[in-house]
Amino acid sequence: MSSSPLEVPDAGSARANRRILIVDDAASIHEDFRKILCADAESEQSLDSLEEALFGTTAAVRQAFVLDSAYQGQEALALVNQALAANAPYALAFIDMRMPPGWDGLQTIEQLWNVDPNLQIALCTAYSDYSFEAIEARLKYNDQLLILKKPFDHLEIRQMASALTWKWQLAQDVALKVISLERTIEERVQELLKVSHLLQYDALTELPNSTLLGDRLTQAIALGRRHDTQLAVMFIGLDRFKRINNALGYPVGDEVLQQVSHSLVAAVRASDSVFRYGSDEFVILLHDVQHPQQTQHIAHKVLKAISVTRHVAGHDLSVTASLGISLYPNDSCNAVELIKHAETAMHTSKERGANDFSFYTEDMNLRAQRQQTLESAIRQALDRDEFVLHYQPKLDLKSGRIVGAEALIRWFQPRSGWVSPVDFIPVAEDSGLIVPLTQWVLRQACEQAQAWRGMGLPPLCVSVNVSAIDFRQRDFVDNLAAILKQTGLPPARLELEITESVLMQNVDDTVDLLHKIKALGVRLALDDFGTGYSSLSYLRRFPIDVLKIDQSFVRGLNVNSQDAQLISAIIGMGKSLELNIIAEGVETLEQLAFLKSQACEEGQGFLFSKAVPPKDFAQLLQVGSPTLMPNP
């Protein structure tokens, strides 16, 4: 049986649960509770109205309670269950101690708390059936129990109803806040764990990364020192992996990396660890190594696992790797040095050829140190303006006239003299210094060509070599346009020499980039033609102006008839595409005679002139200077 409130609750009481259950076997008691808790304000003068009359204060809106009645403990239990099921629990229950013939008050309380442990209880009794100690010992939630002695005062009932329902509400609010706080903490912990995982694991392969490698290797060294055991670090670099990304795209490259990572994990013991160290580099940490031969066996197994043919995106791809090995404690007792030594050994393997491995030796470290020293020297040389350009003439083979010049970088160190390009160009490419170096060459060559124009010398085209790294820079075309504008050189007087292998990387993007360069008015030359994989169909797509026959074919003219046939074919192909043909590396009269017989248009090589400084080249251009074309 339920009684509706007669008063409108204020904003504060609206948020509190005012549902109260009266449990008593006497109907009159239920009526008394309704009169006290649900009485009309006009029928009974409250303390609030007295205060208003005496002191002139505004009376507060009376709290409204919702009462339900139960005459036995079993009936009360049923109502509590219904309220819980409806998600409208009671906040308070006034329970009589004696309710024959059913449960008494304590048994009723026990049953109600079994289903709703949050329920506040006011136990109403006129007799001392149980001592307080006995009640406290029997009931579980003593902090939710108050004892109300009969007969009770109306104000006492109202105060108790207000206090205990608010206590219930506050307890629920606190519980909700605790749950919310726990949820927030759990979410933060999960976020931290996720961030920690992202910091320590590679997102693509799900392997631990270089950050975790340092920690794991340091721990492994500590265990090795304690138990007097050896461990090995294997540094793996995939061979020419960038070609896959450039030719087939990064999604294919990513799938290959995922497959390789799975192969590496399967190739080693469960006690060993595989890490992704760089874009195409992995590290394996081998624990408890008994002897170097064991490591050698694992290296063969790893290389074999990597080199299997993989079917990816409709392509059958075969990837190889170079591998370097360092050992603890033989090579170092420091984690960073062990990784560095293994990487050095890996680079040594790459230099020897693909699909091989090397153990670290001190000689490798010395060579790596020399390369590092050379890299630092290159940086300083750029700042100190130690580089110079020399120019090698290109001759019209019919007239013997100089029609072009190839700008070749030279390096003179004040302390040690001339440094060969064969020594410093590879280091510049590996370190990325080739980019600022090429930009310097482009600017210097354009300024020099413009200076020759200002001297009134015969017009010519100056050519500059562009590496794969330069060609793939996003701002390459913008920088090229800026240099031409700043130096004032007509774009048609600049020629970029790009190797065949560079153009064959990601052909669609290459064609787009070449057209942007051509839109500037710059000439394009295909360098070292015949050494790559381009075909006539590709040549038709490339907006190039010049085919440059590789010097290896020219050099082989004296000993190999096939080279002569190949040169004839290249010249014929170039002419069919209306391209200018130039042969580089011309060193003998016999080579010159053959090239003339095949109607090759231009030549370049030591037979005519080596690369010379700008002043000497200007003298070669002077009117009346002797021709560089030798007499037959």
Which pLDDT does position 363 carry in this prediction?
75
What H or E segment, with its residue span, contains residue 275?
strand 273-278
Q: Rounded to an integer, what distance in angstroms lies between the CA atom of residue 524 and that of residue 461?
A: 11
Q: Rounded to an integer, what distance in angstroms lies between the CA atom of residue 514 and that of residue 509?
A: 9
> Which of the four pLDDT bands, split at 50, 70 and 90, describes residue 491?
very high
Q: Is the same domain home to 86 and 222?
A: no
> Which of the four pLDDT bands, split at 50, 70 and 90, describes residue 12?
very low
Q: Rounded to an integer, what distance in angstroms lies between the CA atom of residue 196 and that of residue 189?
A: 10
Going by the DSSP 8-state scheme, the letter that residue 176 receives in this structure is H
Q: Is the same domain home to 387 and 306?
A: no
Which pLDDT does position 52 carry in this prediction?
65
Q: Is the backbone of residue 605 left (phi > 0), alpha (psi -120 to 50) or beta? A: left
Q: Which of 311, 327, 360 is the last residue of a domain?
A: 360
Which pLDDT does position 57 carry in this prediction?
62
> Which of the four pLDDT bands, split at 50, 70 and 90, describes residue 437?
very high
Residue 83 lies in a domain: yes
Which pLDDT does position 436 carry in this prediction?
93
Q: Is the backbone of residue 585 left (phi > 0), alpha (psi -120 to 50) or beta? A: left
Q: How many domains does the chain have?
A: 3
Question: Is the pLDDT reported for residue 47 higher than 60?
Answer: no
Q: Rounded to an integer, what distance in angstroms lies between the CA atom of residue 461 and that of residue 604?
A: 14
Q: Is the same domain home to 341 and 431?
A: no
Mean pLDDT of the 199-227 span: 91
Q: Is the same domain home to 336 and 420?
A: no
Residue 414 lies in a domain: yes
Q: Rounded to an integer, what distance in angstroms lies between the CA atom of residue 45 and that of residue 244?
A: 92
Task: List CB contacts of 186: < 8 A, sequence separation 6 or more.
Answer: none
Strand-pair partners of 523: 495
Question: Is the pLDDT reported for residue 132 higher than 80?
Answer: no
Strand-pair partners of 70: 23
CA-based radius of gyration for the chain: 45
Residue 626 lies in a domain: no
C-beta separation of 232 from 326 below 8 A: yes
Tally of residues, the chain: 632
Q: Which of 298, 328, 360 is the last residue of a domain?
A: 360
Q: Alpha carbon 555 to chain centroid distance? A: 48
Task: Name the least confident of 6-10, 284-288, 289-293, 401-405.
Answer: 6-10
Q: Is the same domain home to 353 and 384?
A: no
Q: Is the same domain home to 536 and 441?
A: yes
Residue 194 lies in a domain: no
Residue 428 lies in a domain: yes
Question: Is the pLDDT reported for residue 4 higher than 60?
Answer: no
Q: Is the same domain home to 355 and 375?
A: no
Q: Give the number of C-alpha atoms closer than 13 A to the C-alpha of residue 120, restricted to the C-beta side.
A: 20
Q: In this predicted model, what pLDDT tens digit does every residue of 536-558 receive, in sequence order?
A: 667 788 899 999 988 888 888 87
Q: Could you give the strand order of the β-sheet that contains 145-149, starting from the edge strand earlier in sequence?
A: 2-3, 66-70, 19-23, 92-96, 120-125, 145-149
Mean pLDDT of the 431-443 span: 92
Maximal C-alpha separation, the chain: 139
Instruction: Domain of residue 82: give its range.
Output: 2-175
Q: Rounded to an integer, what distance in angstroms lies between the CA atom of residue 194 and that of residue 199?
A: 9
Residue (of 377, 380, 388, 439) closest to 412 by Cα position: 388
Q: Is the same domain home to 36 and 107?
A: yes
Q: Rounded to an integer, what distance in angstroms lies between the CA atom of residue 346 and that of residue 326?
A: 10
Q: Rounded to an integer, what distance in angstroms lies between the CA atom of residue 241 and that of residue 322?
A: 11
> Which of the four pLDDT bands, split at 50, 70 and 90, describes residue 59?
low
Residue (of 329, 339, 360, 295) closest to 226 by Cα position: 329
Q: Is the same domain home to 423 and 553?
A: yes
Residue 189 lies in a domain: no
Q: Is the same domain home to 163 and 23?
A: yes
Residue 201 lies in a domain: no
Q: Is the same domain home to 492 and 452?
A: yes
Give, to the nearest 10 degrees, the angle between helix 73-85 and helix 105-115: 20
Q: Which of 308, 328, 360 is the last residue of a domain?
A: 360
CATH number of 23's domain: 3.40.50.2300
Q: In this predicted model, what pLDDT tens digit does every residue of 299-337 receive, in sequence order?
A: 999 999 999 988 888 888 889 999 999 999 988 999 999
Mean pLDDT of the 281-303 span: 89
Helix then strand then coil, in percent of the chain rounded to 5, is 50, 20, 30
CATH number of 262's domain: 3.30.70.270
Q: Rounded to an integer, what distance in angstroms lies between the CA atom of residue 356 and that of residue 162?
A: 84
CATH number of 541's domain: 3.20.20.450
Which pLDDT does position 6 carry in this prediction?
33
Mean pLDDT of the 481-492 span: 96
Q: Rounded to an integer, what distance in angstroms lies between the CA atom of residue 43 and that of residue 63?
A: 16
Mean pLDDT of the 354-377 span: 80
Q: Is the same domain home to 475 and 587?
A: yes
C-beta separation of 445 from 464 below 8 A: yes
Q: Rounded to an integer, what distance in angstroms lies between the CA atom of residue 219 and that of residue 233?
A: 13
Q: Rounded to an integer, what distance in angstroms lies between the CA atom of residue 582 and that of residue 631?
A: 20
Which pLDDT does position 592 carry in this prediction?
93
Which pLDDT does position 41 carry in this prediction?
46
Task: Name the least confident of 37-51, 147-161, 221-235, 592-606.
Answer: 37-51
End-to-end CA distance of the chain: 127
Q: In this predicted model, what pLDDT tens digit does every residue of 517-540 receive, in sequence order?
A: 999 999 999 987 766 555 566 778
Task: List CB contacts of 511: < 8 A, sequence separation 6 or more.
Answer: 541, 542, 543
Residue 181 lies in a domain: no
Q: Is the backbone of residue 56 left (phi > 0), alpha (psi -120 to 50) or beta? A: left
- Helix/strand/coil (H, E, C) string of 378-446? HHHHHHHCCEEEEEEEEEECCCCCEEEEEEEEEEEECCCEEECHHHHHHHHHHHCCHHHHHHHHHHHHH
Q: In this predicted model, what pLDDT tens digit does every residue of 581-596 receive, in sequence order?
A: 999 999 999 999 999 9
Question: Whole-number mean pLDDT of the chain?
Answer: 86
